[in-house]
Structure 1
């Protein structure tokens, strides 16, 4: 925080109270003033006599004494001194130079406590108690020190503020303190400091604040001696440990404190916009105060300011600062940057390179890993471990960066200031340097789990570099880098992030390679995959068809390049309930793969899996089982069988055994699939979680509804985190959770889960999709259990219409609807029709298990 309007400067403690000493001074002043007036009058009356000279001299002397006492040190402080009793000691109360109190001061509880603890600690013998407040320019060090003075001033009869940026100014302020203590104005400034400390010690507990000190060396000759005193230093440099007892790093505001400051200063109720502004400005107190001042002076809103920051950051940061600060944010760090570069040549270039990356967690090894892409001067620094360490140390010394053993971090506004100070040509060169460095460093096989740690560390810097080259209109290719980053995010089940990256890659490929290039086809394939995962089937179909169209035009209808796209198209058509078209695409992909790889290659397993799920959705369980058995045979013949393929095969076996009525086998295979997926991808990965739906379903069939409920709840929580709580995968989990509740007799709770699943399916797939029919039927069974026959029959009618339209009257789901209808007849007492429906349903299920 910075200085704010509010309390008047702390010239004198309890200035409004007239105590005995103040009364003495005021009374004496009045008496002297009266005597001066009398003397002046008498001098005029006696001007024809020799007495007027004497009277005039007396009057002038009295007036001079009074003026001195009331305006000591040019009005810088007021001295309030008690008369010293015989044999007693003197007592002083002196305050000087403390900035006005900031009535909008916010937060800072922890550093305030640290200051107080440090200054109350037992000092080393012969040393004053001291602490240094260090941090980035604009972070609020001065405001924190000033607030400490106002909160704890009663503990210090003497408080003096010293402007310590330049030694000459600091000596001037200390000289004023000496005059305030002694009234002696005759000493030279060079002699004052040595004589000040005994006088200060005699005045009782005291507190000096050396504000904005540049280095320990600049204060070493001005450092107080003796005990019974405290010193606070504020500084952008952080090398104070040899001079002070404790160094306290002042950080930017917390998110909540930043919002509170903006709202307090602007008197705004718009918490959302305040949060956006706080995030855009990196919660830097000076920037927040400047934002509030802009909003207040221009009579605008925080929402408007948030929009401006995103579009015109340079203009906004260069606006006039608030009245209680003397420089705008845009120029706060210029001197520190120059001094850092003078201290260690290469520091500025290192800072500039890092300003085109994300601000947090820049690996210290990153510049060396990218050294071949750096400008020659910076590369020479980075290749020399000592010069590189010194450059980092210089940035840390001036609080332009923070660091740990393995990474450094910058404030985003420091980065902006560095970029904004460059010529446009230089900005473009540095941005392209950053993007080339990221392209060289980002792994070429991002789906490989062994590369994930490096991908995670680099992804924020990739995004930052891409944003800069895009903003500056660079033609530097970035599609490959974006595509690799997207593949990594898909491997980590971060579909939404992958979608953004793939979309950016598509735009770049279209611009650099052409709209009908192979690169565009490949990225369309990735976009189809991610949109399928996100259940955006319309978009997935568009991208798959575009990829196929480009490849067929360039390579013909039998090229192996088509295999993944045709297979993906089949999967999306299946999810869209376009089963005949889905089968054509899937079988085409399998034929192409068999022709390219042979009939026993493990690469066929993916295509067999797609066909398996199509057969299961069409109610052809026996043919689905044959497809799995072929996959198992291929896996058994493989020289190096893949564990991931084994996980998929166990999942398929579990599903088909569930449909065939072998629940023990279904549970065993589902658990094996989950265990393999958890080992490969983690226990809370998308694959492991989706396997849990099979486990829960089998447990319900085996009568263990309690365990099923727990597993389904865990699955729902995990999928909600990965996919969003309104994703169709979550609807699957909700439906199984409802079945577990139903099996436990909790029908109302089950109805709620079924209703939620229906709403999600209808939102993504429409009201006429087969996925909607299943929870409709489950909801009807719960309603029947509660005696709500009318709503149950209406729901079953709707479910039946959907299944007949898409799958026909021989589908297993139709058989389950008949089973539910039989229960409705049974509840109504019509046992004959109930029995007939059960027989028809059993026949349909037997056919499905034979088909």
Structure 2
């Protein structure tokens, strides 16, 4: 007991950590100052609870500090997150009672709080005077004022003022926004700038787009740091005359004796503020000061602070610290919307925030409108996107009685009067997509293609830069210079961007004929920027600049042939760079318009179908793609005959669909027809002929003809190196498949050597996350695994799966293939539960895509059977392994290597099930077929012979078993090495198995 009392006493004497919501900073500062008067060491800690964090963890973190934790309770403390009272009650009941000696609390609100707050035994400070509040605070912490402190009156003394007491001078302040959300870092930065400022230099300007929340941030700053000021004076500063009058109105509040003229009163006020008499702790807020040139001479000077809100960044030229106010981040937007419209859940709030670009004023007004209606959020957002007139229903606040539409219109009118060419530039920009617009695109269009009202602007660099500067000055756009390379001139990489609601306001303000004129100019700009070589990886950054703007510029609906070719080039780039879904979205949109813009059978219509099919196939929509390609192929062949380039291309696409659907023999016949046609039409060394030849090798590989595939891939690789460059993505693809062939033939060391270099170049040329790079790295992981370097294989496969999931999605064909091989690796060398999870996911996905008769489904079913065997579920394991063999035989025939591998596993299942005769029969037949198909030295053939030796030994045919085993071991040691895992396992008489690996079609 004595030890317990000692610990409690130590806690009571120790420091106090004050935990508070940012909204209650004034209370926290006052409490800290009171405690420090009595020698208590104090730490202020603002509580931050995010939607991702756990309340329990945040409360536990408070206990990491020494001494006691004093919680400043208000409804704001429990809005963080935001979390429900039920969640808070559960957390408080778990954390507080076991640590009751560490927690204390004071309540600074009359509002209802979660019921579990009772366990904190809070002292109620609300509605009291400063002396009584201090007495209760000290009593709650068990602090008794000593005689040495008795000279100071409770509640008095220096330090921050009691939060319930207003400053001596208080005027013009808006009411505090009870729905204020976030902005903690920005408020902290403002306070820091004021604290660091030299006397006479405490001027901070919040600048940003209209509606971004500058006024509300300024208001919150005042209330949050109110105890630090004795004078707070808020002035609407849009006009010079109003500002002079309102500043002059401070004279009587300061007790200054002046004449009746407000000019005289203004001089007296400015002199009093400069001298800091009668008050040195003053704060003047100039709200809406958008014309610094008109009013900068009226900004007060002295020991106090001036806070300015403005759309105009020119305040930086007048000795003010500039702090830009961005739109909310998404977490803040969602929290704000849910406070403004409680009927919306988190997902709906997120959708609304996305549609409105996280702009505070738009969120406030639209969320208010939604909360007062029963309109579903998705329906409301569609109205927003289609420009419906929702303005009459918007909820405006008492302190800002205009909609954000009106606010933007006022801004545009001001710009039009001040600098009309800036509005012309703005109108040009709104036909690009929201987001970064490279200035280089705007400047590269020949002047002859520009309408008269833009020609002067685009031909005059000084006028152009002046327009850009004016838009940036008024926070309408952000202009950001990017890093330049040696090949780029200074300024060539500058980008401008604007908020999506500015786009809507500018477009709504434009006459119909100007809409057509400006959009046509932007389409020409994009077409002029097309480098015309989408397969050249060096030019991909140029295409990445163009693609986002296709839809917003109207390029997808254009009848201009140059623009249509640009759209097709962009689709090719999106396919090659792995942006499949973005490309498909554009292809589908173009397909809605082009059939009515072009004559039936026009070549560009066939081009669009080809690119669309490629993108559909890339995301795994094989049956739909096969129907689309077959229709195109048959129609083109009927119209144009067998020897036509469009027919060849359509045939190649159809062959790719057949490969994906497991129809390999059909695919081979069609691929050879296509290769022969291209060779006749354009020559055997043309890139199209080589691509068709590459696809024949792919089909050989799927048919199990690994040597044929390797020989053809080697020829293609050498031809591509000659025709293209070594670092061309098609050359790199040929190298990757050549290494793949080597590995499938059991030449692991050579395969690894080729693939390591190939991966390095892939990462350099295409980037680490390009799908072709990911495929190359998957092959490298399997080279490591087959070659016996298991640590390298484990590390690479785990990272690869995570990257595929992140970049391509869980259901992408490559992601599923990686999951299959990683499942097999985990079963043998890692986590059996993880192996089972991945294997069952892949089996389910292949069944969904292909059905039970596809070879991929059959192969992965066999892998799953091996997992069940490892888990001890032998009966179900044998059922699945036998089913896998039967299905694979039906799919690809009994001599295919995949079938031989399934048979190897099935012989093992029969052996384990106590049927050695059947196992031996199957092993003998499998070993003979493997020898005939793959050769005597192939690893799969040797595995089959080791299994046969095991089965013969079980039948007591030891001499034959020993002879077969000895020959197989010798060959394994000679081909793979004596320390290779396969050799070591065979020597230890571990029964071999086979893992199915889906091959990219």
TM bucket normalised to smaller: 0.7 to 0.9
Q: Determine which of 728, 736, 761 is the counterpart of 2:821.
A: 736
1:195 paired with 2:280, answer: no
Q: State the distance in 2 between where 1:739 and 1:817 align.
A: 14
Q: State the distance in 2 between where 1:640 and 1:134 align.
A: 52
> Corresponding residue for 1:23?
none
> Corresponding residue for 2:435?
360
1:547 paired with 2:632, answer: yes
Structure 1 residues 102 and 707, CA gap change in structure 2 (3 angstroms): same
Contact 1:783–1:789 at 8 Å: present in 2 too? yes
> Corresponding residue for 1:171?
244
The gaps in structure 2 that reach 5 residues or longer are 1-75, 77-124, 132-165, 482-493, 937-1001
The 5 A counterparts of 1:270-309 are 270-298=345-373, 300=375, 302-309=377-384
1:444 paired with 2:532, answer: yes
Q: Determine which of 373, 384, 407 is the counterpart of 1:332.
A: 407
The 5 A counterparts of 1:10-25 are none
1:422 paired with 2:510, answer: yes
Q: Deviation of residue 791 (structure 1)? A: 0.8
Q: Deviation of residue 241 (structure 1)? A: 2.4
Q: Deviation of residue 588 (structure 1)? A: 0.8
Structure 1 residues 145 and 792, CA gap change in structure 2 (3 angstroms): same
1:219 paired with 2:295, answer: yes
Q: Deviation of residue 446 (structure 1)? A: 2.3
Q: Deviation of residue 850 (structure 1)? A: 6.2
Structure 1 residues 786 and 272, CA gap change in structure 2 (3 angstroms): closer
Structure 1 residues 99 and 632, CA gap change in structure 2 (3 angstroms): closer
1:845 paired with 2:920, answer: no
1:836 paired with 2:912, answer: no
> Corresponding residue for 1:86?
none
SS at match of 1:233: strand
The 5 A counterparts of 1:105-120 are 105-120=180-195
> Corresponding residue for 2:910?
825
Contact 2:249–2:265 at 8 Å: present in 1 too? no
The gaps in structure 1 that reach 5 residues or longer are 1-5, 7-13, 21-90
Q: State the distance in 2 between where 1:633 and 1:206 align.
A: 79
> Corresponding residue for 2:80?
none
Per-residue CA shift, 1:604-649, capped at 9, x if unaligned? Answer: 3322222222223223334434434554675688697785555344
Q: State the distance in 1 between where 2:318 and 2:722 align.
A: 74
Structure 1 residues 629 and 275, CA gap change in structure 2 (3 angstroms): closer
Q: State the distance in 2 between where 1:637 and 1:139 align.
A: 58
1:399 paired with 2:475, answer: yes
Q: State the distance in 1 between where 2:726 and 2:217 align.
A: 64
Contact 2:256–2:268 at 8 Å: present in 1 too? no
Q: State the distance in 2 between where 1:323 and 1:631 align.
A: 73
Q: Determine which of 314, 332, 346 is the counterpart of 2:421.
A: 346
Q: State the distance in 1 between where 2:712 and 2:749 align.
A: 21
The 5 A counterparts of 1:560-639 are 560-599=645-684, 603-628=688-713, 630-631=715-716, 634=719
> Corresponding residue for 1:267?
342
SS at match of 2:179: coil
Structure 1 residues 787 and 231, CA gap change in structure 2 (3 angstroms): closer
Per-residue CA shift, 1:489-545, capped at 9, x if unaligned? Answer: 112111111111222233332121134221111111112222222221112213322
Tell me the number of residue pairs that the alignment of Structure 1 and Structure 2 aligns.
763
The 5 A counterparts of 1:87-236 are 93-124=168-199, 127=200, 129-182=202-255, 186-200=259-273, 201-204=276-279, 205-225=281-301, 227-236=302-311
Contact 1:359–1:411 at 8 Å: present in 2 too? yes
Higher relative contact order (CA 8 A, sep 6+): 1
> Corresponding residue for 1:713?
798
Contact 2:235–2:285 at 8 Å: present in 1 too? yes
Q: State the distance in 1 between where 2:514 and 2:433 align.
A: 19
The 5 A counterparts of 1:1-12 are none
Q: Deviation of residue 243 (structure 1)? A: 2.9
Q: State the distance in 2 between where 1:425 and 1:388 align.
A: 23
Per-residue CA shift, 1:29-62, capped at 9, x if unaligned? Answer: xxxxxxxxxxxxxxxxxxxxxxxxxxxxxxxxxx
Q: State the distance in 2 between where 1:549 and 1:600 align.
A: 27
Structure 1 residues 811 and 379, CA gap change in structure 2 (3 angstroms): same
Q: Determine which of 571, 579, 583 is the counterpart of 1:486.
A: 571
Q: State the distance in 2 between where 1:330 and 1:16 align.
A: 42
Structure 1 residues 220 and 556, CA gap change in structure 2 (3 angstroms): same
Q: Deviation of residue 787 (structure 1)? A: 3.8
Contact 1:747–1:783 at 8 Å: present in 2 too? no
Contact 2:212–2:361 at 8 Å: present in 1 too? yes
SS at match of 1:332: helix
Q: State the distance in 2 between where 1:195 and 1:305 align.
A: 54
Contact 2:769–2:807 at 8 Å: present in 1 too? no
Q: Deviation of residue 706 (structure 1)? A: 2.9
Structure 1 residues 109 and 824, CA gap change in structure 2 (3 angstroms): same
Structure 1 residues 434 and 807, CA gap change in structure 2 (3 angstroms): same
Structure 1 residues 685 and 401, CA gap change in structure 2 (3 angstroms): closer
> Corresponding residue for 2:975?
none
1:790 paired with 2:865, answer: no
Q: State the distance in 2 between where 1:289 and 1:331 align.
A: 15
Q: State the distance in 2 between where 1:92 and 1:779 align.
A: 75
Per-residue CA shift, 1:453-499, capped at 9, x if unaligned? Answer: 122122222232238x86xxx76675433322221211211111111
1:666 paired with 2:666, answer: no
> Corresponding residue for 2:523?
435
SS at match of 2:205: strand
Structure 1 residues 761 and 210, CA gap change in structure 2 (3 angstroms): same
Contact 2:568–2:607 at 8 Å: present in 1 too? no
Q: State the distance in 2 between where 1:823 and 1:809 align.
A: 18
The 5 A counterparts of 1:523-562 are 523-562=608-647
Structure 1 residues 614 and 224, CA gap change in structure 2 (3 angstroms): closer
- TM-score, normalised to structure 1, is 0.83
Contact 1:812–1:844 at 8 Å: present in 2 too? no
Q: Deviation of residue 728 (structure 1)? A: 2.5
Q: Deviation of residue 255 (structure 1)? A: 1.0
> Corresponding residue for 1:253?
328
Q: Deviation of residue 749 (structure 1)? A: 3.9
Per-residue CA shift, 1:235-293, capped at 9, x if unaligned? Answer: 11111124344121112111111111111111235111111111111111111111122
Q: State the distance in 1 between where 2:784 and 2:528 align.
A: 50
Q: State the distance in 2 between where 1:118 and 1:621 align.
A: 70
Per-residue CA shift, 1:787-815, capped at 9, x if unaligned? Answer: 42211121123212322322222222222
SS at match of 2:249: helix
Q: Deviation of residue 586 (structure 1)? A: 0.8
Per-residue CA shift, 1:141-185, capped at 9, x if unaligned? Answer: 111111112122222222111121112212221232223333758
Contact 1:521–1:546 at 8 Å: present in 2 too? no
Q: Determine which of 826, 830, 845 is the counterpart of 1:760.
A: 845
- TM-score, normalised to structure 2, is 0.71
Contact 1:258–1:285 at 8 Å: present in 2 too? yes
Q: State the distance in 2 between where 1:19 and 1:160 align.
A: 24
Q: State the distance in 1 between where 2:661 and 2:416 align.
A: 61
Per-residue CA shift, 1:359-389, capped at 9, x if unaligned? Answer: 3222223321135343322221121111111
Q: Deviation of residue 700 (structure 1)? A: 3.1
Contact 2:717–2:735 at 8 Å: present in 1 too? no
Structure 1 residues 583 and 158, CA gap change in structure 2 (3 angstroms): same
